[in-house]
Every structure is written in structure tokens, then in C-alpha cells.
Amino acid sequence: MTQSIALLGATGSIGRSTLDVVRQHPERFVVHSMAGATRVEPLVEAAREFRPRIVAIATESKKDELAAALRAAGVDAEVRAGAAAVAELAGDPEVDSVVQAVVGAAGVEPTFRAARAGKRLLLANKESVVCGGALLMDEVKRAGATLLPLDSEHNAIFQCLVGASDEARAAARIVLTASGGPFRGRRDLSGITPEMAVKHPKWSMGRKISVDSATLMNKGLEVIEASWLFGFPADRIDVVVHPQSIIHSMVTFADGATIAQLGAPDMRTPIAYALGWPERMDGGVKPLDFTTLGTLTFEAPDRETFPLLDLAFKALAAGGGETIVLNAANEIAVEAFLDRRIGFTTMFALVSEMLAKIDAPKPASVEEILELDRTTRALTREAVAALERSGKEG
């Protein structure tokens, strides 16, 4: 039976990897719809090959440009634009599976739409879980949706927990692995430029997530995500730096056994696993050759030099809307850093300031999540502007 897919975030790294896996299995998958954020050309190129019925772009002002480019490419697809239009694709009754790879808090609404519609939800947007927390997991359960994580670490944990009883899970510990980013072992973080921060040593990722990896915020967000996805409290989640990025994460059980998922640092592996689940299928990734693999090393993360990891643990433990504040403040801080408006370590200070400044009660609805997100973004932007005016942005 052919699986009908809505691909949200089609032009990003996850989207491109998903299309590569789909390309290898035309008998199993059809792309019903796809959406991008701002870039028309790569969206049209993908549509030219996969011929979706609907093509959407989140930037409303790009609708006419997208429509004209699709016509010129000979693609007969319905064109939609705007964030609401992208979210609607996630709940389309003609879609079986939603690959949710929208970046940032913009992905929260599409994720909830897919969950409410009871979809098979392949989720790469960690902010949906970081911000949605219990609300999202309740929606998944209520609607009978299937949530399959695409992040390599959470996909690894999912695989390691297959077959574990509730009793075994209750006594287990999650071990999230981190590459350490481009500045692993560096204590002096002065003079770091956006170009330096986006050069990840192992993974090919977008600019925002690459900066998050460089600050260890990405791992902090993953700790929060793992807690909600798998029902593990913060005190049963550990982080270890593993520079080779071969072990994608592990689970340690009460009997002393640790189960790890290993593989090349290629996102097609978790994507193929989620698309084919519960079957395994070829994703086009070569298996590891253990005779040439070399040494695998592990070390503790430097929480003093990279304080955002500890801030993430504290936000999770607080139990309210602090994780929403953490995520929103970080997004604006990263944006400002990439625009060269603030320095690298100023991102740490901004996130810490917002967590201390903003009252963050536990949200009771998606609307409350988005309102707290908007408030935090506005206050963080004001803080960035104030730093620029004072000349302390570096």
C-alpha cells in the first residue's frame, strides 16, 4: 500500500534527505504535498521531480513568484501561502504521514494539527515538543496519532527502547550523545564569528541548528524533548560528548546492560527507519565497517564554558512554561548572532536574562504557548536593541 506524505520543510536538510529516501522507494511513497519557508527555487525543483498535488510556501509575499515558477517548470499543483496554509497540510485527510521538518517555533501549530488529525507524525521539529510538552503528548494519545522522532538521538532512543517493558523503562537511564560542536575543548569563546559557528565537524545542518550545536543549546533542547517523548524525568537523562558521532544515543537498564544505536552520521538512517517503521528499509546509507572505524571516545560536556545546557535542565525541572521562554529567547539570540548584531557569548546572557525576567506559568492551550513565545521574542528583541544602543553587543 502506498503511503501518502505531506513534507513540511521540504527545502531544508531533513526535507532533502527525506526526498532522497522516498526517491529510492517510489512503490511505497507518494509526496501528496510539500511546503517550504522562503526559498522558491529549491521548492520548485523538488516539485518538478515529485509532482505533489499541493505546494505551499510560508512567506505569503512569495505566492505569485512560486505560482509563476511552477507554471514555468510544467508543474500543475495547487499553490498555497502563509503559515496557516502550511499548518493545514498537516491535517489533510488525504495524507497518511506528515514529515514535520519546519524549523523553530513556527513548527508548533503544524505539529499539533498532525497530532489532532491522528496522523503518523515523523517529527524533526524539536521545538514542538520543547514548547508543547504534556499538551502535545496528550493530543497524540487522545487522537491515536503515531509519533516517530526523526532527530538522530531520539530516533536512536526509540530504537533502543523497542521491546522494553514499562517496568524496565521506569528504571532505565537515557544517555544522549553530543558531538561537542566546532568548539569542543575551547575555553576562550571570544572572537567567534557566524562562519566559524556554522561549521559543524560531522553533520550537515541548517545555520540555526548548527549554532545551537556550537553552544550546546541543541543538546539542551534534546534533553527536554527526550523527557517528554519517552516519559523520563530530567534526573534520568545524561549527556556525554562523543565526537565521532557514531553512537547516536544509548539507554542503560537496571541490569547494567546498555543498548546503543550506531550508524554513520547520515540523517537518511533515522528517516528511513521512521518511514518504514515497524519494518526496516534501505535508506541508501552504507553500514559501518568496524575494521576501519577507529577509536570511539567519550567525555563530559563543558557546562561551565557552555552554560545553556544547564539552563535547559533547569527550565525542564521548573515545570512551567520556562522551556518555551528558553526556546524563544534562544531563537532570537541566534538570529541576532547570525546577523552580527551580538557576539557569541551574548547569546548565553540573553537566554539567562529572559528566564529570570519572564513569568512563565504552565500553558493550558496552544494559544497560550504561542502567546508566551511571542512575548519572549519581543522582550528578547528589545534586549538585543538595547545592547546595540549601549555599544555592548559584542
Neighbours of 29 (CB within 10 A): 23
Is 335 flagged in the annotation as binding? Answer: no
Query: Would you say 324 is a known binding-site residue?
Result: no
219 has binding-site annotation: yes
**Rounded to an integer, what distance in angstroms lies between the CA atom of residue 224 and that of residue 313?**
7
254 has binding-site annotation = no
Is 127 annotated as contributing to ligand binding? yes
Query: Do residues 37 and 59 lie in contact, with contact meaning Cβ atoms separated by under 8 Å?
Result: yes
The verdict on whether residue 152 carries a ligand-binding annotation is yes
Q: Which three cell numbers stand for residue 331?
A: 531563537
- Asked if 39 and 66 count as a contact pair (C-beta separation under 8 A), the reply is no
Which residues 6+ apart lie within 8 Å of 229 measured at CB?
129, 137, 147, 149, 154, 157, 158
Handedness of CA 332, 225, 310, 316 (dihedral sign): positive
Tally Cβ neighbours within 10 Å of residue 244: 16
User: Does the annotation place 330 within a ligand binding site?
Assistant: no
Tell me the CB-side half-sphere exposure of residue 354, using CA atoms within 13 A.
Answer: 35
Closest by alpha carbon to 91, among 64, 110, 69, 71?
110
Element containing residue 135 per DSSP (H, E) = helix 126-143
Distance from C-alpha of 151 to C-alpha of 122, rounded to nearest angstrom? 10
153 assigned ligand-binding residue = yes
Q: Which of 323, 332, 334, 342 is nearest to 379 (CA)?
A: 332
Q: Would you say 17 is a known binding-site residue?
A: no
Helix (H, G, I), strand (E, B) or coil at 167: helix
β-bridge pairing 3-8 and 29-36: parallel
The verdict on whether residue 222 carries a ligand-binding annotation is yes
Rounded to 5°, the CA angle 219-223-226 comes to: 125
**Is 37 annotated as a binding-site member?**
yes
- On whether 282 is known to bind a ligand per the annotation, the reply is no
**Residue stretches of the annotated binding site for 1-deoxy-D-xylulose 5-phosphate:** 126, 152-153, 179, 200, 213, 218-219, 222
**Residue stretches of the annotated binding site for NADPH:** 11-14, 37, 125, 127, 206
**Residue stretches of the annotated binding site:** 11-14, 37, 125-127, 151-153, 179, 200, 206, 213, 218-219, 222
**Residue stretches of the annotated binding site for Mn(2+):** 151, 153, 222
